[in-house]
Amino acid sequence: LATSPVHMEYKLKMSPQQVLETIETMVKYAKSRCHNIEFSAEDAMRSNPAFLAQAVRCAIAAGATVINIPDTVGYATPLEMQNTLQYLRKEVPECESIDLSVHCHNDLGMATANTLAGIIGGATQVECTVNGLGERAGNAPLEEVVMAIRTRPDLYGLETNVDTSQIYMASKTVYGIIGRTAPINKPVVGGNAFAHEAGIHQHGVLANRSTYEIMTPESIGITTRQMVLGKHSGRHAFEDRLRELGFSLSRDDLESCFTRFKNLCDKKKDVTDKDILALVRNLEVTSAAVYVLKRFSVHAGGTESATAIVTLEKDGVVTEEVALGNGPVDAAYRAVDKIILPPEYSIENYVINSVSEGKDSLGEVVTTLKYGDRIFTGRGLSTDIIEASILAYIHTQNKLMAYYQTEKGA
């Protein structure tokens, strides 16, 4: 429940006394249902400190076991966050019997700094998200907070019990789910996090890694031993590499993934860990297929409209359509629409990601479609970016059509 003047007046339309009464009533009700209760004072960092202390005292008296102090709009500075936590611990001695938590947003780019300042101020719980995903500019990134605590034991003197070797894979997985890649300069998990371009830096790292590296790639799960697989690699080598990367697939998924791996080997000389991760991430694309791409052909050049011929299969029935478009991808999408006949929708997003390096690298395309108030996301993977685009679009349309048919049936 919000405790700042602006929230109480304009959103809640409640007086401070009404807010306190509501806190007591709601926390007591929650306590009657379960033991562990967290009360969050929304917009705490723009609240009057004295009233915030009253609200915290009220919530603890009613049975709260965790008090969350959020910087809801990313307004605070690290010093303010530290001072607020210290003030509450001083003014509300009852805080010693509960966990004090911080929840920081990143609107001014200070979510990580504010979270760490909260720890210095006495927070025993911090709320983070993988990759900092969240409302507006996001929340405090878990990977940054955890690695800061791990890297600076002299300052924080804490343990998080987080297995940091899983950080990189967790980050990649979450980015894969939302169809994004980490910004190259993102702390901890970005592509340049362990890159050293300047000559003086390179010389130092070669002499001793600690000259310019405060943490190692291995500490977050990035292996520096790249096992490159190819067309002569067998099932056991492929399965062993999957296991080393942290995957345990069902027999059907393993078979599907291995088949796609062998197909990829026909198009790409060397298959790296990044390629294998992408193959696993795209398993859902094939398992959820209704319409399946059989073949396609596109022609585009000069000022003429592009032409696409697309052949799809559904339930053993093969259908082929031709369409013109403003470029090969647009033409292919129009041909797919002629076959699927989807309801009216809009394309919200189309993203191309390079999975690995080199001219034969895998390309991953993520498409997002909107139908009514529903959002559907699909992905496609191929060394041919046009094919990846078509696969992503079909994947998304399969999801949309499944929902549409269910909606019609209802």
Is there a contact between 231 and 221 (Cβ–Cβ < 8 Å)? Answer: no
Q: What's the pLDDT at 200?
A: 44
Nearest CA to 251 out of 283, 282, 228, 222 is that of 283
Is there a contact between 311 and 338 (Cβ–Cβ < 8 Å)? Answer: no
Q: Which residues in 54-192 belong to E strands, given as ranges? A: 66-71, 99-104, 125-127
The contacts of residue 172 (CB under 8 Å, 6+ apart) are: 182, 189, 277
How, if at all, do strands 306-314 and 317-325 pair?
Answer: antiparallel
Q: Is 64's pLDDT higher than 90?
A: yes
- In the structure, what pLDDT confidence band is assigned to residue 267 with cuts at 50, 70 and 90? confident
Handedness of CA 183, 260, 282, 312 (dihedral sign): positive
DSSP structure class, residue 223: -
Q: Is 181 left (phi over 0), alpha (psi -120 to 50) or beta?
A: beta
How, if at all, do strands 99-104 and 66-71 pair?
Answer: parallel
Helices (H) and strands (E) in the chain, counts: 15, 10
Q: Which residues in 234-373 belong to E strands, given as ranges? A: 292-299, 306-314, 317-325, 346-354, 363-371
Q: Give me the domains of the chain, ranges plus CATH numbers.
A: 5-178 (3.20.20.70), 235-281 (no CATH), 285-409 (3.30.160.270)
- In the structure, what pLDDT confidence band is assigned to residue 226 with cuts at 50, 70 and 90? low
Question: Residues 173, 177, 183, CA angle at the centre, nearest 5°?
Answer: 70
Q: What's the pLDDT at 192?
A: 85
- In the structure, what pLDDT confidence band is assigned to residue 355 with cuts at 50, 70 and 90? confident
Which tokens sit at 281? 């991430």
pLDDT digits (tens, 9 = 90+) for 325-336: 999 999 999 999
DSSP structure class, residue 166: G
Of 10-19, 211-220, 239-248, 294-303, which has the strongest mean pLDDT? 10-19
Residue 88: how many CB atoms within 10 A of its CB?
24
Distance CA 219, CA 225 (A): 14
Q: What's the pLDDT at 242?
A: 86
Q: For 2-16, 207-221, 310-324, which range has the lowest pLDDT when averaged over its residues?
A: 207-221
Q: What's the pLDDT at 197?
A: 43
Q: What's the pLDDT at 233?
A: 82
Distance CA 51, CA 57 (A): 10
pLDDT digits (tens, 9 = 90+) for 22-59: 999 999 999 999 999 999 999 999 999 999 999 999 99
Is there a contact between 162 and 221 (Cβ–Cβ < 8 Å)? Answer: no
Is there a contact between 400 and 336 (Cβ–Cβ < 8 Å)? Answer: no
Burial 347-358 (b: 16+ CB within 10 A, else e): eeebbebebbee
Is there a contact between 171 and 161 (Cβ–Cβ < 8 Å)? Answer: no
Nearest CA to 86 out of 55, 113, 122 is that of 122
Which tokens sit at 30? 């929650």
Q: Is 313 helix (H, G, I), strand (E, B) or coil?
A: strand
Q: Is 129 left (phi over 0), alpha (psi -120 to 50) or beta?
A: beta
Distance CA 335, CA 400 (A): 17
Q: Is 46 helix (H, G, I), strand (E, B) or coil?
A: helix
Q: What's the pLDDT at 198?
A: 43
pLDDT digits (tens, 9 = 90+) for 274-319: 888 888 877 765 555 689 999 999 998 877 899 999 999 999 999 9
Helices (H), 211-267: 235-244, 251-267
Distance CA 355, CA 274 (A): 6
Q: Is 227's pLDDT higher than 90?
A: no
Q: What's the pLDDT at 208?
A: 61
Q: Which residues in 225-335 belong to E strands, given as ranges? A: 292-299, 306-314, 317-325
Distance CA 229, CA 239 (A): 11
